[in-house]
Amino acid sequence: MLGERSPLWQLTLARLRETVREPEAVFWVVGFPILLALALGIAFRNRPPERSKVAIQAGVGADSLAGRLAGARELAVEVLDSATAAARLRAGRVALVVAPGEPVTYRYDSTRSDSRLARLVADDAVQRAWGRRDVRPVREVKVAERGARYIDFLLPGLLGMNLMGTGMWVVGFGVVNLRVKKLLKRLLASPMRRSHFLLSFGLARLVTVVFEATLIVAFGALAFGVPVRGPLPVLAAVVLLGMATFAGLGLLVGARPRTIEGVSGLMNVVMLPMWVLSGTFFSAANFPAAMQPFIKALPLTALNDALRAVMLDGSGLAALALPAAVMAAWTVVSFGVALRIFRWR
Amino acid sequence: MVRAAPAISCRGLVKRYKDVVAVAGLDLEVRSGECFGLLGPNGAGKTTTVEMWEGLLAPDEGTVEVLGMSWAERDHELRERIGVQLQETQLAEKLSVTEVVTLFRSFYRRGHEVDEVLELVQLGEKRKSWVGKLSGGQRQRLAVACALVADPDILFLDEPTTGLDPQSRRQLWDVVAGFRAKGGTIVLTTHYMDEAERLCDRVAVVDHGKVISLGSPKDLIASLGAQHVIEFALGEGIAPPPDEALLALPGIREVRTVAGRTSLTVEEVHSSLPALLAELERRGLGMSELLTHHATLEDLFLHLTGRHLRDG
């Protein structure tokens, strides 16, 4: 079926050749996500915990208070006059102002987590300095485990975002481009089968996705030690399902527009909410509970969740039922609608 | 003599775009083995007509039969037997000449070898070049190669030489003539009258979606009743003598003035021209331009519509 004379093969070859011969396309498919992972991986690399900045308001007893707090390693302490201390607290440059006296006064913004932390640590140091003793022995074990760092969270998200971006652009932009250039019309004047034409986009995408996914996963493993804990075939299956989902969405977005501007606008309308909501750069759990059902139904959320489950939690197929079902539903619906409304001429 | 079945026939063809009538009731027959031209200005409905014949547009009214078949019933079979070059197609810039033709070849069950077709359109030396690197003329020949690769019964060419330099036009004409010589049927739209005169066995002159004249280029020109044309222009803003005065001169059959240029259809240049010069002299009018030529389809169009082809 895929001989030199096979139209499906020739159409797929044409798609692939056009992609490979476009340096920009190659960059966006593989170069960009790797640069982004590199930059973010470095920016958010794990550092030793920061010390909380605490100001001690100048006055009677300030120096002795400062001396006692200086013993706490988690605190950076300085003595400031009350006006400066208040100004820095407002500007967020110190987390807590401690005023000596009887009683000791803590001034801080209780909605700031760094302030709350500084208050706990400072209070602990104050109480200990004046003689409080621990009554229950405890033991601490510190972890810096692979799979729990920001880069571990980020990389599957970047892979997901990349599968969305390239899938939608290659297919959606691809068909509109052919329509704009009237090449679609010319192809229809030949006995070419429409199914071959559409299938060729999927096949070409299948080839590029192998490179894209392998490169990003391998880069993560080599540069940052991002793990792949689940079985590779399951990861491959998730990647392929994601590819199919966004090829379908791309086809849907490209089904009607007659101009490049038109398809670009639609593309952004579809992708922008997912960039923000689907948990690529930070967990989608940060959004209010009321939005969660909507967020969970987005195809990129499903893909990101599935990728993280396989790579970080080592989940097998069984644990992926929900996101896989969400992606499969998107694939079927978008292909179905796209074929129905596709503007062939 | 038994006449072969027509390659294409259409009856009462109508196509409207919103409130514009692009094709307003067309009855035409294209004979098998002829080169048939649709000649008319831009917007005359040529492309719309041809696209209905190619099965790319559905007519609002009327019927089209190609090779005795209708598009509704035998679409796929018909596509195997026609070759199409469309006016605005831009082929993929980053594919090579061979790759593009191989792609199109793969759609057809039978047809020419790719190299064979490239020789036919004189692109053999460019087979490895990317489409983006080709000149306008080379691209058009590549588009024709994509149409020829099916070894079609009917070749449709929609304004194949628009915007090309004279040498490129002649190269394309050779390709068309070669296909015609092997018995192929050609449908050609153009707004170049010399192209129609040179290539076409029969021409339909189209204006506002209707056929206003049909016949061989020779017969159509002969229908003007005179073989020659004198064109002249006076200085800017100077009106030519009234038509009656010019028609009174010997051998002048028709007078048309469009945009400051007057054209006279005449039987013999050598008797009418001296009389014209004398008349202008008598009126004290100086000429800024003068030329004479054999009557062409352009003159026919002017005769029929009062407009020039190129004005659209």
Structure tokens at B199: 């290539």
Among A189, A114, A161, which residue's Cα sits nearest to residue A307? A161
SS (H, E, C) B4-23: CCCCEEEEEEEEEECCEEEE
Q: What is the per-residue pLDDT across B40-69, written as a single tens digit (0 to 9) for each?
A: 888 889 999 999 999 999 999 999 999 999
DSSP of B42-65, one letter per residue?
TTSSHHHHHHHHTTSS--SEEEEE
Mean per-residue pLDDT over chain B, rounded: 89
Give the per-residue pLDDT at A150: 83
Give the per-residue pLDDT at A1: 45
Which of B102, B108, B146 faces A191 most closely, judged by CB atoms?
B108
Give the per-residue pLDDT at A308: 93
Give the per-residue pLDDT at B238: 82
Put simply, the answer to whether B92 touches A21 (Cβ < 8 Å) is: no
Residue with tokens 């068909």: A175
Average pLDDT over residues B250-254: 86
Instruction: Decide if A186 touches B, using CB distance below 8 A.
Output: yes
Q: What is the pTM of this model?
A: 0.78
Counting every residue written for chain B, the total comes to 312
Give the per-residue pLDDT at A147: 67
Q: What is the per-residue pLDDT across A241-292, written as a single tens digit (0 to 9) for each?
A: 999 999 999 999 999 999 999 999 999 999 999 989 998 888 888 889 999 9
Give the per-residue pLDDT at A143: 66
What percentage of chain B reaches a pLDDT higher than 70? 98
Confidence tier at B310 by pLDDT (50, 70, 90): low
Which is more confidently placed, B226 or B111? B111
Confidence tier at A146 by pLDDT (50, 70, 90): low
Amino acid sitting at position B192: Y
Q: What is the per-residue pLDDT across B97-116, written as a single tens digit (0 to 9) for each?
A: 999 999 999 999 999 999 99
Q: Is the pLDDT of residue B3 over 60?
A: no
Which of B95, B105, B109 faces A14 most closely, judged by CB atoms?
B95
Give the per-residue pLDDT at A338: 92
State whether residue A56 is helix, strand or coil: strand
Measured distance CA(B54)–CA(B155) in Å, rounded: 10
Domains detected in chain A: 7-44+146-341 (no CATH), 52-129 (3.40.190.10)
Domains detected in chain B: 8-220 (3.40.50.300), 225-294 (3.30.70.980)
Give the per-residue pLDDT at A72: 78
Mean per-residue pLDDT over chain A, rounded: 88
Which of A18, A189, A191 faces B86 most closely, judged by CB atoms?
A189
Q: Is the pLDDT of residue A92 over 50?
A: yes
E strands present in chain B: 8-17, 20-30, 35-39, 61-66, 82-85, 154-158, 185-190, 202-207, 210-215, 228-234, 252-258, 261-266, 287-294
What percentage of chain A reaches a pLDDT higher than 90? 46
Q: Which helix (H) or strand (E) holds A55?
A: strand A52-57
Give the per-residue pLDDT at B312: 44
The interface predicted TM-score of the complex, written ipTM, equals 0.84
Q: Is the pLDDT of residue A131 over 80?
A: yes
Q: Which helix (H) or strand (E) holds A64?
A: helix A62-69
Put simply, the answer to whether A183 touches B56 (Cβ < 8 Å) is: no
Structure tokens at B64: 């089209």
Confidence tier at B140 by pLDDT (50, 70, 90): very high
Q: What is the per-residue pLDDT across A26-71, written as a single tens digit (0 to 9) for each?
A: 887 778 878 887 887 777 666 666 788 889 988 888 888 888 888 7
Residues in A touching B88 (Cβ below 8 Å): 182
Structure tokens at A315: 């989940």
Measured distance CA(B134)–CA(B310) in Å, rounded: 27
Put simply, the answer to whether A7 touches B106 (Cβ < 8 Å) is: yes
Q: What is the per-residue pLDDT across A291-300, written as a single tens digit (0 to 9) for each?
A: 999 999 999 9
Please name the residue of chain B whose CA is at the shortest distance from the CA of residue A191. B79
- The shortest C-alpha distance from B265 to chain A (Å) reads 42
Phi, psi of B55 (to 5 degrees): 75, 20
DSSP of A252-280, one letter per residue?
HHTSS--SHHHHHHHHHHHHHHHHHHSSS
Instruction: Decide if A2 touches B, using CB distance below 8 A.
Output: no
- The shortest C-alpha distance from B2 to chain A (Å) reads 32
Which of A13, A17, A192 faces B107 most closely, judged by CB atoms?
A192
Q: What is the per-residue pLDDT across B157-204, written as a single tens digit (0 to 9) for each?
A: 999 988 888 898 999 999 999 999 999 999 999 888 888 888 999 999
Average pLDDT over residues A211-216: 89
Average pLDDT over residues A90-100: 90
Q: Is the pLDDT of residue B1 over 50?
A: no
